[in-house]
Amino acid sequence: TEQTFIMIKPDGVQRGLVGKIIQRFEDRGFKLVALKFTQPTKQLLEKHYADLKSKPFFPGLVEYMSSGPVVPMVWEGLNAVAMGRKMLGATKPAESEPGTIRGDFCLDVGRNLCHGSDGVEAAKGEIALWFSPDELVSWADHSAAQVYEKPPVVAAA
């Protein structure tokens, strides 16, 4: 099944929204595969946001993202990448629908709480950038039998 990389940004941590954001992914039926709590280096963030290097907001983005701890996570499930983006809501909070994380909890594009991979290939790259293979946990999620018509088969750890 598909995996996506979701990260709670420093404003999400500072505002005490870690639990609420994780709750939404659990509630939807996604399976947590990896999670850590870490203050990222600028060097790591420059790699993570390499495609935005030429944007005028890039230096401020790296500054903000390195300003405090973040919560990088891997969530797995049906259409995890596209669904993850939908749950985050539009990049600009003015355009994020109510009911989405950004649409419910933030106002400013430069403080938009969370990151989500924008494609399956991007997700693979981001997961490899933020986690080593041994940090990805393979486990049998018992709720899968109710969440899916055809539950994914989990390889024995």
Q: Which residue lies nearer to Mg ion by CB, 2 or 118?
A: 118
Q: Let me know if 9 is exposed, middle or buried by CB neighbors in 10 A (0-12, 13-18, 19+).
A: buried
| Residue 108 Cα distances to 58, 59, 95, 96, angstroms | 15, 17, 11, 11
Check residue 68 for interaction with ligand GTP (CB under 6 A): no
91 contact, one of Mg ion, ligand GTP, none, CB 5-8 Å limit per kind = ligand GTP
Distance of closest approach, residue 118 Cβ to Mg ion, in angstroms: 5
Among 22, 32, 78, 109, binds ligand GTP (CB under 6 A): 109
Residue 112 is labelled as binding a ligand = yes
Classify residue 84 by its DSSP letter: H
For the CB of residue 152, give the shortest distance to ligand GTP in the complex, in Å: 25
Q: If binding is defined by CB under 6 A, does position 3 make contact with ligand GTP? A: no
Residue 116 binds which entry of ligand GTP, Mg ion, none, CB below 5-8 Å type-dependent = ligand GTP
Determine if residue 102 is labeled as part of a ligand binding site.
yes
Q: Give the pair of three-digit tokens for residue 48.
A: 């993570």
Residue positions annotated with a catalytic role = 115
DSSP 78: T
Instruction: Check binding of 73 to ligand GTP (CB under 6 A).
Output: no
Query: Closer CB to ligand GTP, residue 102 or residue 141?
Result: 102
Q: How would DSSP label each residue in 11-74?
A: HHHHTT-HHHHHHHHHHHT-EEEEE--B---HHHHHHHTGGGTTSTTHHHHHHHHTSS-BEEEE
User: Is residue 110 close enough to count as binding ligand GTP by CB under 6 A?
Assistant: yes
